[in-house]
Structure 1
Amino acid sequence: MEKWSQWIYEVLGIGHSYQYKIIATIVVGLVIYILRRMLLHFILKGKEDVKAKYNWSKSISYVGYFLTMLVVIPIWITELESFGTFLGLLTAGLAVALKEPISNFFAWIFIISKKPFEMGDRIQIGNSEGDILDISFFQFTMLEIKNWVEADQSTGRIVHVPNGLIFTHPVYNYNQAMNYIWNEIPVMVTFESNWKKAKKILLEVEEKKLKPLVSNMRSEMRKGREKYYVHYTNFDPTVYTTIKKNGVMLTLRYLCHPKTRRTSEQAAIEEILEQFYKHDDIQFAYPTTRFFDASKE
């Protein structure tokens, strides 16, 4: 062993003390990696919940990183007078050179502790909007929605967002309050139409097509009240009536899951088209121009 150590010193110029530190670091890393893999295999065996598997994997990885740093750092700082000296020098250097990464790291601590969002949530931050795929030390990853797609559906692009952005931009979470959002479908009929009949049809469409989509809504509402005091006196589908310059606006308002907004809207609109087609006294309104000739009246 001493011969190998002497050979490394002569060929590579690495001192004996540094050889020990390198070997010790590699051994520590391998041991913790093996323990991590074994623990993950034991815990995740038989689990089908993707989110639970992700959370366990991330948590065990973070513990592994922490233990590795806890064991390795003292190996490499024996030349310094104290661990406090090391931390002082490290902090001073990093504060100047790595402002953004430090901000991102502390933002990661904020994310995993305060949980403004979790894996699988749909959020909007700045100009980015999508579903959370991963949360790491310096950035979180989203599957983008919208952009050139005219609905809350995926574009197929992956967006990597620095964690520190949560300190300077508001985070809009679609799932956190009650896992449902309000959606509205505006339907405009002409002034000559039987708007009362049209409104009745819309209410029937909501009862038939939209209300069954939120069967567990009440339990989700209770969760929202417990954490954020989200309180609604009425969360049944409804239709509001408004007069516009081109006709009577009937607006369907209903709750839906954030990831089914487009499909629920399509189901409702197709049913509305079929029902309105059966009634001659209901016509859709659209911008028109009418000319009045006083000489012919």
Structure 2
Amino acid sequence: MRVLALIFVFTFLFADINSTIEHNATNTQITNDVIKQIEAIDASLKGNIWITRYANYGTYQKIKNELEESEALLKKDGKKNAELVKKIQNLKDQLELLKEYERTPFANMLVAPEIDISPRITNPIALISGFSYIKKIANEKDDYAKRTKELDTLIGKLRDKEVLLVTLLNGDSKNENLQNQIYNLRTQIGEFEGAKQIADTTFDVYEKRADEAISIAKNDIKSQIFSTANIAIFIIVIIVLSFFFKFIAKKTITDNDRFYTVNKFINFINFILIILTLLFAYIENITYVVTILGFASAGIAIAMKDMFMSMLGWIVITFGGSIHVGDRIRVMHNGLLYVGDVIDISILRMTIFEDVTFATYHQNRRAGRIVFIPNNYVFTELLSNYTHQGMKTVWDGIDVVLTFDSNHKKAVHIAKTITRKYSKGYTDIAKRQMTRLRSQYSIKNPNVEPRIFTFFEPHGICISIWFMASSYATLTLRSTISAELVEAFNKESDIMIAYPTQTMYLSKKQNPQAHSELDQDLIRE
């Protein structure tokens, strides 16, 4: 019986131990899951602007307390501790950097944007400013609402974190670290909830003011659109009547001179009526007179077409981004070629400084000139930009002609070796630039490595060598590679550079009889 009792006791104890182990394992698993959830919440809050500003606020308070303790300690030591004095100065500098967090962590975040006075929309051009004003106010309101919504989401996540920390504390009620975390978290939540109340109140007031400003601007826009439509209809009626009177005059007047006079008179009356209509519509301010003069400039534009085209070209150049000051460009006009650097872009013309290039060497034999190019050339002439979108390299080429009996394969190998050696730096630069250029343009062949081609020419084998060179100094690299090629080819006995030659045969004049006798001798032999 005693043995049975002992077996029963041991069985009961073993079952209790297993139950305790399983319970502890379950608690450990729950704890790990809670910790993972807390870590996930912390990761989602990383970089949050509200959390960052609150952290800066906490840093400011911490530094402030440390400064007070250090000053008290320094006063106690009699102000003789140099290290402590230096520490105090550093703390003061840090407080100065965080001065905006002295009283509240969210002062700048809670301030509603200022609402500007709605612009007066009294002419069609002002419609643009009206639409821009509405868009600006709407964007600012959306931004403020977004910040408020982010604060709501943040508070919800912090509440979830609080519940998880409390769950951990229930399993370990004596953990002082958890207790401190919960206390700090609740303090933080209180700060955010206070900020949320201020944000909600501020947004309610701001939203009403913003909606009122938008409503006023929309009413002005509607009024101006209606007024502009009426003026446009009236002008269209005047133009239609002028065409009607011209048609009547053409049918009734047979004399060309008289018809020309009547036609001019109708045009003049038409122009005066339109001008008067616009003046009476927008005479409230002198700026509107300037607007009317803009319409009158249409006639001036016909007489000064080139000047206005240059102004339009300046707009295209300035805002199109195709040419900038400092770019190297090539301009072809009436068979004349100019290559130089853009040193100024004015309203009417571009100014370039002509550099020593292959074009000046091969064609102009002049350089160093200041060349003025009208801006309207962008519409009518061919302009090449050697440095567009930051490109600093261009393809340059050298042609070498060898005799037919030369070892052209060896020559190609030598040319490739020399070219790669001296153009490697520019090739590497071109690769980086080409990568950037391909993000904006569809470039089918981005390869910038040196290229060697062999062509069959009437007077020899042409080896065409192409390589990347600086856009601003092509002649330098061209000269270097040319000299190296000549020196390398001259060292090889089986490579001969071809050049135009002429063979002349010189002999004494012979009489026909002697020539005939010589032929007979040759036949006998």
Q: Give the shorter-chain TM-score range.
A: 0.5 to 0.7
Deviations 1:259-292 (A, max 9, x none): 1211111110111111112112111101224589
Q: How far did 1:87 drift?
A: 2.1
Q: Mark the runs of 5 or more structure 1 residues left unpaired by the alignment.
A: 1-79
TM alignment of 1:239-250, pairs within 5 A: 239-250=452-463
Correspondent of 1:110 among 316, 337, 357: 316
AA matched with 1:132: V
Write the distance in 1 (CA, Å) between the matches of 2:283 and 2:476: 65
Q: How far did 1:237 drift?
A: 0.9
Identity of aligned residues (%): 28
Q: Cα–Cα, structure 1 residues 106 and 284, in superposed 2: closer, same or farther, change >3 Å? A: same
Q: Secondary structure at 2:423's aligned position in 1?
A: helix
Match of 2:329 in 1: 123
TM-score w.r.t. structure 2 length?
Answer: 0.38
Match of 2:100 in 1: none
Match of 2:508 in 1: none
Write the distance in 2 (CA, Å) between the matches of 1:134 and 1:277: 47
Match of 1:258 in 2: 471
Query: Does the aligned pair in 1 maintain the 2:450–2:467 contact within 8 Å?
Result: yes
Q: Secondary structure at 1:123's aligned position in 2?
A: strand
Deviations 1:202-228 (A, max 9, x none): 111112222233332221001211122
Q: Cα–Cα, structure 1 residues 278 and 149, in superposed 2: closer, same or farther, change >3 Å? A: closer
Q: Secondary structure at 2:401's aligned position in 1?
A: strand
Match of 2:301 in 1: 95
Write the distance in 2 (CA, Å) between the matches of 1:121 and 1:160: 15
Q: Secondary structure at 1:228's aligned position in 2?
A: coil
Match of 1:272 in 2: 485
AA matched with 1:244: E
Correspondent of 1:167 among 365, 368, 379: 379
Q: Mark the runs of 5 or more structure 2 residues left unpaired by the alignment.
A: 1-281, 506-518
Query: Does the aligned pair in 2 maintain the 1:116–1:171 contact within 8 Å?
Result: no
Q: Cα–Cα, structure 1 residues 152 and 100, in superposed 2: closer, same or farther, change >3 Å? A: closer
Query: Does the aligned pair in 2 maintain the 1:130–1:154 contact within 8 Å?
Result: no
Write the distance in 2 (CA, Å) between the matches of 1:123 and 1:130: 6
Q: How far did 1:123 drift?
A: 1.2
Q: Cα–Cα, structure 1 residues 151 and 259, in superposed 2: closer, same or farther, change >3 Å? A: farther
Q: How far did 1:170 drift?
A: 3.0
Query: Does the aligned pair in 2 maintain the 1:184–1:254 contact within 8 Å?
Result: yes
Write the distance in 1 (CA, Å) between the matches of 2:443 and 2:325: 22
Q: Cα–Cα, structure 1 residues 96 and 286, in superposed 2: closer, same or farther, change >3 Å? A: closer
AA matched with 2:372: H
Is 1:84 the counterpart of 2:297? The answer is no
Match of 1:180 in 2: 393
AA matched with 1:166: V
AA matched with 2:497: F
Q: How far did 1:257 drift?
A: 1.8
Match of 1:135 in 2: 345
Q: Secondary structure at 2:309's aligned position in 1?
A: helix
Deviations 1:140-193 (A, max 9, x none): 101124565338998111011111221222321111163322111101111111
Write the distance in 1 (CA, Å) between the matches of 2:363 and 2:487: 23
Correspondent of 1:202 among 415, 419, 432: 415
Write the distance in 2 (CA, Å) between the matches of 1:142 and 1:163: 12
More helix by percentage: 2
Deviations 1:21-73 (A, max 9, x none): xxxxxxxxxxxxxxxxxxxxxxxxxxxxxxxxxxxxxxxxxxxxxxxxxxxxx
Q: How many residues align?
A: 217
TM-score w.r.t. structure 1 length?
Answer: 0.65
Write the distance in 2 (CA, Å) between the matches of 1:180 and 1:187: 23
Match of 1:40 in 2: none
More strand by percentage: 1
Deviations 1:227-254 (A, max 9, x none): 2223425321121111111111111111
Write the distance in 1 (CA, Å) between the matches of 2:472 and 2:365: 8
Match of 1:144 in 2: 354
Q: Cα–Cα, structure 1 residues 148 and 272, in superposed 2: closer, same or farther, change >3 Å? A: closer
Q: Cα–Cα, structure 1 residues 254 and 167, in superposed 2: closer, same or farther, change >3 Å? A: same
Q: Cα–Cα, structure 1 residues 166 and 85, in superposed 2: closer, same or farther, change >3 Å? A: same
Q: Cα–Cα, structure 1 residues 153 and 142, in superposed 2: closer, same or farther, change >3 Å? A: farther
Q: How far did 1:85 drift?
A: 3.5
Q: Secondary structure at 2:406's aligned position in 1?
A: coil
TM alignment of 1:37-56, pairs within 5 A: none
Query: Does the aligned pair in 2 maintain the 1:123–1:129 contact within 8 Å?
Result: yes
AA matched with 2:283: E
Correspondent of 1:288 among 494, 501, 507: 501
Match of 1:35 in 2: none
Match of 1:17 in 2: none
Q: Secondary structure at 2:310's aligned position in 1?
A: helix
Bigger relative CO (Cα 8 Å, ≥ 6 apart): 1
Write the distance in 1 (CA, Å) between the matches of 2:352 and 2:372: 6
